[in-house]
Amino acid sequence: MDESVDPCNNFYEYACGTWVKREALSPTEQKKDTFTIVEDDVNLHLRYLLEEKVGPDDPAYKAQPRNFYKGCMNLARIAERGEKPFLEFLATVGEFPALDPDWNETQSDFSLEDTIVRLAKLDLLEEKVGPDDPAYKAQPRNFYKGCMNLGRIAERGEKPFLEFLATVGEFPALDPEWNETQSDFSLEDTIVRLAKLGETPLFSIKIDRDVKNPEANRLYMGDAVLSVQSQGYYTVKDAADTPIFQQRKKWLVDTLVLLGADQDTAESDVASIINFEIALANSMRDPVEKENEQSKYNPTNPKQLKVEYPYLNWLKVFQGIGSNPDGGSVLIDDDERIINQELDYFEKLGLLLQDTDKRVVANYLMSNLLKYTAWLGTEFTNIYDIYRKDTMDVSGSERWKLCIKQATTIFPEAVSRLFIEEHFKKDAKDKVDDMVADLRKAFKDLIISNIWMSVETKQKAEEKLNRMSTKVGYPEYIMDDERINDLYADIPTDDYNYLETMVAHRKFQALQKLQNVRKKPDRQEWTRIFPASVESGYYHLANELTFPAAFLQPPLFSPEYPSSMNYAGAGMWFGRDLTQGFGVRGSRYDGDGYINPWWSDKDKEGYESQSTCFVDQYGCYKWEGNSIDGEMTLAENVADNGGLRQSYRAYRALIKRQGVEEQRLPGLDLNHNQIFFLSFAQTWCAKIRDEIKESIVEDGPHSPHPYRVYGALQNSKEFAEAFKCPAGSRMNPMRKCIMF
C-alpha cells in the first residue's frame, strides 16, 4: 500500500504503488503479479515433493514423476548422450530433409499421412523416493530427478534425440544424402507418427464434446497450431523479414547445425520452413471469424474427406492415429463422425501442398520436434535461452522450474496427488465449497435484478446457473491409491533416460485422449485443468467451472484469511469466470453445453445497449501511451465487473447471516468492507516489463492490470461508499456501467 495516495483519486496506486516500486523482475520474468507469485510458490512446493528419493516399492504415481524429474535435471547424462537420442526419435516420426544432405524427393518414400499420425501421438518435486512409496509419488519424482540430472543429460548428448527423430520420419535437413527421388517419405505416415506424439503441425486433431450433442466425444479437425502464437505476426507484409521470424530462423539454424546439419543447407531449409508456415497461417481465417461456432460445425467422415480433399488418405491417417501395437487401439472406419471446423482452410492446404516441394513439407513437419532440444544439454539450452531473450526479453528459467513444468505436464494426476496431500487439506476444500454456494446465490440475485433481460430469458439464465457444475480443489478419485497407481503402473519411468520417458508418456497421453472418442463424457472427470494447475476456467461445452487446489493458494485464498480477503480474491475470480457463461458467447450454449441460443433479439439489443457504456469507459483509458480497445476487451471487462459485484454481494450476505462484522486486523486502520476492495485491487498488482506493455494492449483480450482495478471500482457504488469517495471524484464518476 501507498497510504500517501488518495484512494478516491487513484486506488491502484494506493493499493499497489509501494509494492510495484519495491519489486524487481528477475532476468527470467516478463512480469510479476498475484498469479506468478502463486505459481512460484506452487513450484517450490512441487520441487520439494519431487526431489524425494525413489524407493524400490514406491507406487507408480510417486516413482514415475520423481524419476522423470531426476532425469530432467541430470544434464551430465543428457550431455553425454548428445543429440543421438533425439535424432533417433526424429527418425521414428518421419523424414527430415534439412538434416539429411542426401535426401532426394524423387527417391523419398515420405508419407504426409504417416508423419501427421506419428506427430499427433506425441501429445494428445524434490523429496526422496522411499522404498514404500506408491507409484503416484515415485514416478513423478523419478521423472523430475531425471530432468534435473544435467550430468546424465550431458553424458548422453544429442544421440538419444537423433534416434528419436529417426523413429518419427525423414528429416532432410539433417541428412546430407537425402534425395527426393530416392526417398520413401510418406506424408500420411509422418502425419500419423507425429499425431501419436500429440504434434499436429499441418492441421489440429483433438477429442472434445460434440457441440450439437455433448453426450458424446468426437474427433475434431481444424487449422494448424502455429509456432509463433499470434496469427497477426504472419499476416504482416514481408513477415519473414520481421525480427520475430529472423530470431526464430537463427534458433532453428543453430539447432540444426548442432544436430549435424551443414550451415548453408540449414539456412536454406529454415528459410523454406518459415515461408511455408507463413503461407499456412495466411490460409487461415481471421480469429474474429472463428468466433462463429456454427461455421465451425461441419460433420464429415473419412469417406467424405477423401472426396472433398483428395490430397490425403484420410482413413489411413485416422486409423494410424488410433492404432497401438501394445493394445488399446481405437478402431476408426470410413463412417467415423468427424467435425471439420475449417472448410476453407483444408481446401487451401491442398493447393499449398501441391505447390510445395516434398523436402520443404518433410522439414516443416519434423522441425516441430526441435523444441524438444530445449530439454537436452547445455549447448541446446543456451541457444534456446538466447531465442527467448531475443523474442521475449527474458532469460531462460532455472532448470528445476522447467523440470517441474514438464513433470506436471507428463504426470498431471500424480503430481496433483502429491501437492494435495501436503498443501490442500479437506477443511480448505469445505471452506471454498461454502464460498462458492454464496457466490452462486449472489449471481442468482443479480439475474433477478437484471434490467435488460426479459422475464423468459432470466428463467433460462437461472436454469443454466442451476445446471452449472463446479469443480473445486480436486476430484475425490485422485485420492484413490489403486486407481491412480493403475494409471501409471505399466509405463516405464526412470531417472536415467529422460527423453525416452518423456516421449513414452506423451504417446500414452495422446492414446488416452483418443480412447474417449464416441464415449459419453464423464462430468466427474478432470480432463482440462488438473489440481496442480495454477489456473481456473469456465468450459462452455460442459457448463462447468474449475478451481483447482494450486489456484486456491495465498494470496488468492487461505483458510487462515478473513472472509473479506478470500471473497475478494478467489471469490472474485470465481464470479468473473461464472459470468463468462452468461455473456455473448455463453448465450449460445444452454445448461447442458449444447449450442442452443437462449437470448431473444430484444435481449441482444439490451446487451449491446449496456455494452456501449463499457466500450466508451475502457476506450478512454490509455496505458503508457497506448489506447485500450474497448470493443476487444469488452467480454473480459464485463466479467471483471460482474465478478466484483457478485463477490461483494456474497460477502455481505455472509456477514448478514453471521450477524456480526469480522474483527478488525491489527495495525490496519480499515474496516473489512474496505479490506475487501483493497484485496480485490491487490489481486491485480503487477510489475511488468516495458517491452511487453504495448503487446498486452494490442494483442490481449484483457485490459492492463491497473485498468482492471480502475474500471471495476469506478462502476461500484459500494466501493465509493466504503471509502467515502465524493461524487464526481476520479474513482466515483457519475456514470456507472452495469451488465450483471
Distance from the first to the final alpha carbon of the chain = 30
Mean pLDDT of the chain: 87
**208 SS3 class:** strand
Would the pTM count as exceeding 0.95?
no
191 - beta bridge partners?
114
List, in order, residues 6 or more apart from 371 with CB less than 8 Å away: none
Grid coordinates in use for 443?
449471481
Task: Tell me which DSSP letter residue 158 carries.
Answer: S
Which stretch, 505-509, 539-543, 694-698, has highest mean pLDDT?
539-543
Pick the CATH number of 1-34+434-473+563-740 from 3.40.50.2300, 3.40.390.10, 3.40.50.1000, 3.90.470.20: 3.40.390.10
**Cβ-contact 376, 147 below 8 angstroms:** no
The listed range with the strongest mean pLDDT (15-19, 180-184, 401-405) is 15-19
Question: pLDDT over 90 for what percent of the chain?
Answer: 49
- Can you give the pLDDT at residue 329? 82
Within 10 A of 175 (CB to CB), how many other CB atoms are there?
Answer: 28
Domain ranges of the chain: 1-34+434-473+563-740, 51-424+475-515
Identify the residue with better confidence: 119 or 293.
293
Q: How far apart are CA 281 and CA 273, in angstroms?
A: 12
Instruction: Confirm if 142 and 64 have CB atoms less than 8 A apart.
Output: yes
pLDDT band at 394 (very low <50, low <70, confident <90, very high): low
Average pLDDT over residues 302-311: 96
H-helix or E-strand spanning residue 470: strand 469-473
pLDDT (tens digit per residue) in 699-737: 778 999 999 999 999 999 999 999 999 999 999 999 999
pLDDT tens digits for 666-675?
A: 988 999 999 9
Q: Is the pLDDT of residue 244 over 50?
A: yes
Closest CA to 336 of 226, 259, 221, 440: 221
At the top level of CATH, which class does the domain 51-424+475-515 belong to?
A: mainly alpha
- With 90 as the cut, is the pLDDT of residue 602 above it? yes
Quick one: pLDDT at residue 117?
Answer: 60
93-100: average pLDDT: 76
CA 199 vs CA 94, 178, 279: distances in Å: 12, 23, 19
**Rounded average pLDDT over 113-133:** 59
In 169-212, DSSP assigns E strands to 179-181, 186, 204-210
**pLDDT value for 123:** 52
Instruction: Name the phi and psi angles at 199, rounded to 5.
Output: -105, 120
The predicted structure's pLDDT at residue 314: 95
pLDDT at residue 688 tops 60: yes
CA dist., res. 310 & res. 305, Å (int): 7
Q: Please tell me the distance from the alpha carbon of residue 675 to that of residue 152, in angstroms, as a whole number.
A: 51
Per-residue pLDDT tens over the stretch 559-600:
999 999 999 999 999 999 999 999 999 999 999 988 899 999
Assess whether the region 1-34+434-473+563-740 and the region 51-424+475-515 belong to the same CATH fold: no
Lowest mean pLDDT among 141-150, 461-470, 528-537, 642-651: 141-150
Amino acid at 406: Q
Instruction: Considering only residues 397 and 227, tell me which one the structure prediction assigns the higher pLDDT.
Output: 227
User: Among 75-84, 244-253, 282-291, which is the least confidently predicted range?
Assistant: 75-84
Between the CA of residue 573 and those of 36, 200, 636, 687, what are the distances in Å?
A: 15, 33, 12, 20
Residue type (1 letter), 97: P
Characterise 724 by phi-psi region: left (phi > 0), alpha (psi -120 to 50), beta (else).
Answer: left
At 116 the pLDDT is 62
Long-range Cβ pairs for the range 606-609 (8 Å, 24+): 606/451, 606/452, 606/453, 607/452, 607/583, 607/739, 609/452
What is the structure's pLDDT at 277? 96
Alpha-carbon distance of 41 to 62, in angstroms, equals 21
Is 312:188 a contact under the CB 8 Å cutoff?
A: yes
Cα dist from 675 to 81, 90, 583, 713, 723, whole Å: 56, 56, 29, 14, 10
**Lowest mean pLDDT segment, chosen from 201-210, 224-233, 649-658:** 224-233
| Lookup: cell for 520 | 459419453
Question: What pLDDT is recorded for position 58?
Answer: 80
pLDDT at res. 124: 39
